[in-house]
Structure 1
Amino acid sequence: MKRLYFLPLIVTVLLFNCSKDEPVENDTLYFPPINSETWETKSIADLGWNESELQPLLDFLEEKNTKSFMILYNGRIVREDYFNGHSKTASWYWASAGKTLTTAVSGIAQEEGLININNKVSDYLGTGWTSAPLAKENLITCKNLLSMNSGLDDSLGDDVSPSNLQYVADAGTRWAYHNVYVKMQDVVAAASNQTWNSYFNTKLRDKIGMNGLWVNLGDLSVYGSNTRSMARFGLMISAKGKWENTQIVPEAFLNEATNTSQNINKAYGYLWWLNGKSTYHLPQTQIEFNGELIPNAPADMYAALGKNDQKIYIVPSKKLVIIRMGDAGDGENFALSTFDNDLWGKISALID
């Protein structure tokens, strides 16, 4: 019986040794509070990253016309930097990176039973929303709008009035980067019997503590916000559509949205760009390019890419969300640019 007295001591020693060899870290997924500037941080030293590579990254960002840059690890801020007169409270446009907001809200509307993305667009907008022959127009589904394979002519500019939406190919047979995706906002508005702004604010923006608003710039619907709001959206997406314990966007829908959505452009989901694919297409061309979208980035990275290098990068394998706002790094562009791969060369040197 005397041996039993040594049992607590043995257990204590074992636990001590385990904790010493394998330190337990608070690595749970973190969400910043709604309507608060509080946001937990994580240091580069804590993560064991290459601190000597930080300054070269910051220098590169400043040289390349960056206004803001954020790195989140498991939801916590590792870096938050502002350049060229920008600030934490200043707003900037998302450009086409904001397309993914439309994707998210479409998933919410489908979950609520308001729409089905497999239904034709004319079920919600009525016929005649394009200039295509009726039989061809009726081939275009909401999913085609989200996948950029509506078959409508992408060479006529951003005007989405019926006269400018002209037939080129059957829906599903041709991938082309086209502003016609914005008709999904009309679909959601019609199905919900609300304005797009009202539905968006109630169902997405306000639930995750974003600020910002949609602005109509000619034919374009553009979202603008501060950098932390963009980071909040990226965090919610990286958390498989959840904010804390609330499912904002259905996980199954997001899985579809962040995987190849059609068989033409393997690097495109529902308005999300996908790395790690064997080929890809770019805006304003029908050429298929071989190789990965951004070779220097992890293969599982997916991204919201906007004109003049507005970026949301999400890397599940590394628990990262990375935000970049600013002017074009290397000349005007519509989505992908050489800046992406150059930037990821710097990021990889820091985190690997």
Structure 2
Amino acid sequence: MKKVALALSALVVVLLLTGIFWLGPSYIIAAPKVATGMGAKLACSSKYVSGLTEQQAKVDLTSYSPLLAELNVDFDDQTQSVTTSFYGFQARASFHPGLGCAIDFTGVNARDSVVVPELAPAAGAWPLGSEVNTIEPDLQAVLDQMLIDDNAVGLESRALLLVQGDHIVAESYAPGIGPASQLLGWSMGKSVTAIAIGRLIYEERLGLEETDLFSEWRNDQRKKISVQHLLTMTDGLDFDEIYAPGKDVTSMLFTEPNSASFALQSPALYQPGSHFNYSSGSANILSALVQQRSGATLQTNVSFLDEHLYRPLGLTHALFESDAGGTLVGSSYFYASARDWARIGLLMLNRGEINGQRLLSKEFVDMASSPNGSENEKAYGFQFWLNAGDASLRWPNVPEDAYAAMGNRSQIVMIMPSDNLVFVRLGWTNGDYPTDANIAKVVAAARKH
């Protein structure tokens, strides 16, 4: 007890020095566990999934909070793990081939026996294969200059890519990043999870209007929540998306062994379908549903995604991380190269078809890119943000029919059907990114082409 008291006293001093003590006692109690868990997980994935340097991993981490600069971060290349410590508090995250990094919890080892099939590039041209010989010099110049301009003002853009029709017509990468770099999409993983749900629906393993989805919900109002309610985040669950220690989303991602199990405990707050509430919990519940309908184990889940989604898409450098409890973290932890993110965008642009195969129904894609029926915020489809649907456009200078997968640090896969374009931006922007202005510039250049 004395050691804990001393550690908490030291933490109070640190919080005072970093200027965030005012956040209150719940923050102080939760902060060490969240900070060490977040630090171990993100640093592990940065190095052992994305291949970034240890220095870059630390810089990326500390951009979130001055508190994280106080962590001691220890990389162990022999075990491919990262241990973080903070005034007596400690966390460890370890890498598993094909499943990435997860925070370690004593006695929780669901990932240990899982074998993830290795993705191998197919011969031939992109999108099925890896050959890209369709670069247009004028469009390439636009992306090259945009990358230079972004990073001259500290926006940390790492990959920019433009698809026109079925071809990559420009791609630009920051130093140390290339076509094989697996980069974190953060909440763009929600869109991938929605596509997995759409694949299950197309194969008639799941119904969009299906309810009574989980035994945990059988005896209360949550029994009425449908698959569509979860996809549109109108499920009515009371889940707090504020990114601060002690809140639902940080507890789920950085202190719990099973993200979906945590989210499933969320109580009902609104009538299903009536209220939009952006929620990483809803996305992880969808991830649990994918696992449930693809065989009920992590092994059957990764095998289903490999056979029915990744290989038909032509993915070559993609990885979906699971948590220690054995569920893919559908809200946040899908890593992929810019070219693979572009393949995902192209699938949606082509209304569910790619590489000569239909993976999703046209109707599902149309609904995924249409406004929801909530009373408060309609410009959100099936885990995709929409340009239109509310009183004003989200991106006023971008085509009205645009919609996007979006993630923290300004990750974006923008699909623009009327211009037959997909734009990918991956990076680590701490603050605002000029998404509207930059994409408008790209669209203008593509229209001249």
- The answer to whether structure 1 residue 202 and structure 2 residue 307 are counterparts is yes
Question: In the TM superposition, what whole-angstrom CA distance separates every residue of 1:174-208 from its partner, at most 9, and x where no partner exists?
Answer: 11111222211221221231533222111111112
Q: Equivalent residue for 1:186?
A: 288
Q: Distance in 2 between matches of 1:55 and 1:67?
A: 11
1:344 to 423, 439, 442: 439
Q: How many residues align?
A: 295
Indicate yes or no: 2:401 matched with 1:300: yes
The one-letter code sitting in structure 2 at the alignment partner of 1:183 is I
Q: Does structure 2 conserve the Cα–Cα contact (< 8 Å) formed by 1:56 and 1:346?
A: no
Shift of 1:32: 2.0
| 1:89 to 2:193 alignment | no
Does the CA-based 8 Å contact 1:305-1:312 persist in structure 2?
yes
Compared with structure 1, are the counterparts of its residues 109 and 55 closer, same or farther at alpha carbon in structure 2 (3 Å cutoff)?
A: closer
* Displacement after TM superposition at 1:351 (Å): 3.5
Partner residue, 1:32: 126
Q: Are 1:234 and 2:234 counterparts?
A: no
Question: Take 2:315 and 2:382, find their aligned partners in 1: how far apart are those partners?
Answer: 22
Report the Cα offset of residue 141 of structure 1.
Answer: 1.1
- Larger RCO: 1 or 2 (CA < 8 Å, sep 6+): 1
What is the match of residue 310 of structure 1? 411
Within a 5 Å distance, the mapping from 1:6-85 to structure 2 comes to 32=126, 34=128, 36-45=129-138, 56-63=145-152, 64-85=155-176
* Alpha-carbon distance, 1:268 to partner: 0.7
* Counterpart selection for 1:110 from 201, 223, 229: 201
Question: What is the RMSD of the two structures over their aligned residues, measured on CA atoms?
Answer: 2.5
Deviation at 1:291, TM superposition (A): 1.4
Alpha-carbon distance in structure 2 between the residues aligned to 1:345 and 1:56? 15
State the alpha-carbon separation in 1 of the partners of residues 148 and 413 from structure 2. 20
| CA distance 1:165–1:53, change in 2 (3 Å) | same
Instruction: Please give the alpha-carbon distance, in whole angstroms, between the structure 2 residues aligned to 1:31 and 1:253.
Output: 28
Matched, 1:225 2:225: no
Matched-pair contact (CA < 8 Å) for 1:71–1:323: yes
Q: Partners of 1:240 and 1:128 in 2: how far apart?
A: 33
1:321-350 Cα offsets, whole Å, 9 max, x none, are 11111102x52xxxxx55322323432453
**Contact (CA 8 Å) 2:161, 2:424: kept in 1 or not?**
yes
Give the letter for the 1:38 counterpart: E
Q: For the Cα contact (< 8 Å) 1:227–1:323, is it kept in 2?
A: yes
Which deviates more, 190-199 or 300-309? 190-199
Cα separation, partners in 2 of 1:126 and 1:166, compared to 1, 3 Å: same
Code of the residue aligned with 1:227 in structure 2: it is: A
**Alpha-carbon distance between aligned partners in 2 of 1:153 and 1:297, rounded to the nearest angstrom:** 33
C-alpha offsets along residues 235-271 of structure 1, whole Å, 9 cap, x if unaligned?
A: 1211111113211111111111111122332211101
- TM-score where L is the length of structure 2: 0.61
Counterpart amino acid of 2:381? Answer: G
Cα shift at 1:90? 1.3
**Where does residue 244 of structure 1 map in the other structure?**
355
Contact 2:143 2:160 in 1 (8 A): no
Equivalent residues of 1:276, 1:299 under 8 A apart: yes
Tell me if structure 1 keeps the 8 A contact 2:263–2:285. no
More off after superposition, 160-169 vs 73-82: 160-169
The residue aligned with 2:269 is: 168
Deviations 1:9-52 (A, max 9, x none): xxxxxxxxxxxxxxxxxxxxx97253x3212414255xxx7x98
Residue aligned with 2:220, SS? helix
SS of residue paired to 2:248: coil
Q: Secondary structure at the match of 1:291?
A: coil
Task: Tell me how far apart the structure 1 counterparts of residues 238 and 273 of structure 2 sit (CA, whole Å).
Answer: 13
Q: What's the TM-score once normalised by structure 1's chain length?
A: 0.76
* From 211, 215, 231, the counterpart of 1:126: 215
User: SS state of the match for residue 58, structure 1?
Assistant: helix
How far apart, CA to CA, are the structure 1 residues paired with 2:141 and 2:339? 26
Gaps of 5+ in 2: 1-123, 241-246, 253-259
Instruction: Give the secondary-structure state (helix, strand or coil) at the position aligned to 1:127.
Output: helix
Match of 2:321 in 1: 215
Partner of 2:422: 321
The verdict on how the C-alpha distance between 1:255 and 1:233 changes in structure 2, with shifts beyond 3 A counting, is same
Aligned twin of 1:255: 366
Task: Assess if the C-alpha contact under 8 Å between 1:189 and 1:196 holds in 2.
Answer: yes
Give the aligned residue type for 1:268.
Y
Contact 1:103–1:146 (8 Å) recurs in 2? yes
Contact 2:125 2:131 in 1 (8 A): no
Stretches of structure 1 lacking an aligned partner (at least 5 in a row): 1-29, 280-289, 332-336
Following the alignment from structure 2 to structure 1, what is the Cα–Cα distance between the partners of residues 145 and 272?
Answer: 46
